[in-house]
Amino acid sequence: MALKYLIDENVDPIYTIQLRRLKPDLFVMAVGDLTTPKKGTLDPEILLWCEENNCILITNNRKSMPVHLADHLAANYHVPRIFILNPKLSVGENLEQLFLIAEGSVDNEYQDRIEFLPLF
């Protein structure tokens, strides 16, 4: 199964634009899109949506997302993955990481985990 990314609303929209432009076969949605959680949706609800829709969350939320994930897992829920972008990397470098992950990952490789970029 192909990976699906949900871009959190705290991530610069250039990521969604560039992911869609440079890798059109990659399934990329953003919070606030028609079929995704609306902007302003609380993180615990976004994690539930990601679980239900098998989407990997891409976020900048380094502080509270680990807490939300711990609470989510404690409630016996799961999440495909969460990747946190690296502010020290350029947009292009973070995008390259996301492309490599999409091309080289296997199902459930990062389930229930937060991974900080870069992975490679």
Task: Give domain status of residue 6, yes or no.
Answer: no
Q: Does the pLDDT value for residue 59 go beyond 70?
A: yes
Q: Is residue 85, in this structure, part of any structural domain at all?
A: yes
Q: Give how many domains the chain has, as a whole number.
A: 1
pLDDT band at 110 (very low <50, low <70, confident <90, very high): confident
pLDDT digits (tens, 9 = 90+) for 18-38: 999 999 999 999 999 999 999
Per-residue pLDDT tens over the stretch 79-104:
999 999 999 999 999 999 999 988 88
Instruction: Enumerate the β-bridge partners of residue 14.
Output: none
The model's pTM: 0.93
Instruction: Give the domain extent around 108.
Output: 19-116
**Spatial distance between the Cα atoms of 47 and 54, rounded to a whole number of angstroms:** 10
Backbone angles phi and psi of 114, in degrees to 5:
-105, 130
Tokens encoding 32: 């606030």
pLDDT at 57: 97
Tell me whether residue 10 is in a domain.
Answer: no
- Contact between 99 and 23 under an 8 Å Cβ cutoff? The reply is yes
